[in-house]
Amino acid sequence: MMDAEGQQSHHPKDPQMSKALKRALVVLNCLLLFVGDTGGPLLSRLYFRHGGHRQWLASWLETGGWPLILLPLFISYLYRRRLASDHHHPTKLFFLTPRLFLACAVLGLLTGTDDFLYAYGLSFLPVSTSAILISTQLAFTAFFAFLIVKQKFTPYSINSIALLSVGAVILGLHTSSDRPDNVSQGQYLMGFFLTLGTAALYGLVLPLVELTYRKASQVITYTLVMEMQLVMGFFATAFCTIGMLVNKDFEAIQREARQYGLGEVKYYVVLVWCAILWQCFFLGTVGVIFCVNTLLAGIIIAVLIPVIELFGAIFLHEKFTSEKGVSLALCLWGLASYSYGEYRENKKKKEAALKAQTTGLTRGG
């Protein structure tokens, strides 16, 4: 469950993008993020709830919709070709360099591993519990960002880490309160720790993506970001495909479809829409990050956690216990603290840059 998230502030953005187009992209990507972030986990859990048992298949679906990225890439190419024809310039088909391609391939393999951990954990956990545990990735992101890109800890990030950790501990101490009927205590605990492992790996990959942006010796455009996501999705899917072949999942799909609790047709409908919605999540996330910033993407994802909790209770009839409520409150508090800290840091950087620019103009005059 991964996306090419990273901060774009180190490179100029696409100078050809008009304000109207940017506003349209912001709205579109926010909608994609909303639909994908709520629908993807719910359909993945729906697959397991009604008789799905193939974790490799579920992990494959998280990135298996990567060919859908070819559509916005094609539209982007047509748009750039029209602009280039007006100025009599040749239109470049791809922006990825071999070095960036290799970096994205490695990130894709890590993403495939993360997909598998997430799917395996979700097969034993309610989607509402999984969503709260996944939110702890902010704590891991802060830690790995400190090691990899030298991002400093702030009082807000430390407070966020503490709150998210306490929330996860509260869930861990009350594992019997929301355990699904067909899941043993051992399986629940396995799902719990695998989901925490998902959050940790997610927290590692994000700073690595940011480092990739920093090391790229080219302008980071929206098209380039989508190309990177395409490569990551391809290699993540290839990794999961190997897992499916080894586990003989392809041979078991027809048999599982016939035995599926909602019926054979709905089994395939769940699989197809699961792949589409997860791809909406990835596209929406990278789009919001590029058009605005990482902070807004993080805020939207945080706001959607209670929505996932609500949908889980309504559509999947999951229990919403008092312990889960306390953990959710701590989780949202931690996310709010982290977001406010990021807002203050970004504001300070902008003020410092404006002051430096003003000083330079004064000296030049």
**pLDDT of amino acid 85:** 72
Distance, CA of 91 to CA of 179 (rounded, Å): 55
Question: What pLDDT, in 10s, does the model give residues 223-249?
Answer: 898 999 999 999 999 999 999 999 999
Question: What pLDDT, in 10s, does the model give residues 51-94?
Answer: 999 999 999 999 999 999 999 899 888 888 887 776 667 778 88
pTM, two decimals, is 0.84
Question: What pLDDT, in 10s, does the model give residues 268-324?
Answer: 999 999 999 999 998 888 888 778 766 677 778 777 888 888 888 888 888 777 877
Instruction: Band the pLDDT of 337: cuts 50, 70, 90.
Output: confident
Between 190 and 365, the more confident residue is 190
**HEC-encoded secondary structure of the chain:** CCCCCCCCCCCCCCCCCCHHHHHHHHHHHHHHHHHHHHHHHHHHHHHHHCCCCCHHHHHHHHHCCHHHHHHHHHHHHHHHHHHHHHHCCCCCCCCCCHHHHHHHHHHHHHHHHHHHHHHHHHCCCCHHHHHHHHCCHHHHHHHHHHHHCCCCCCHHHHHHHHHHHHHHHHHHHCCCCCCCCCCCHHHHHHHHHHHHHHHHHHHHHHHHHHHHHHHCCCCCCHHHHHHHHHHHHHHHHHHHHHHHHHHCHHHHHHHHHHHCCCCHHHHHHHHHHHHHHHHHHHHHHHHHHHHCCHHHHHHHHHHHHHHHHHHHHHHCCCCCCHHHHHHHHHHHHHHHHHHHHHHHHHHHHHHHHHHHHHHHHHHHC
Domain boundaries, the chain: 21-81+91-359
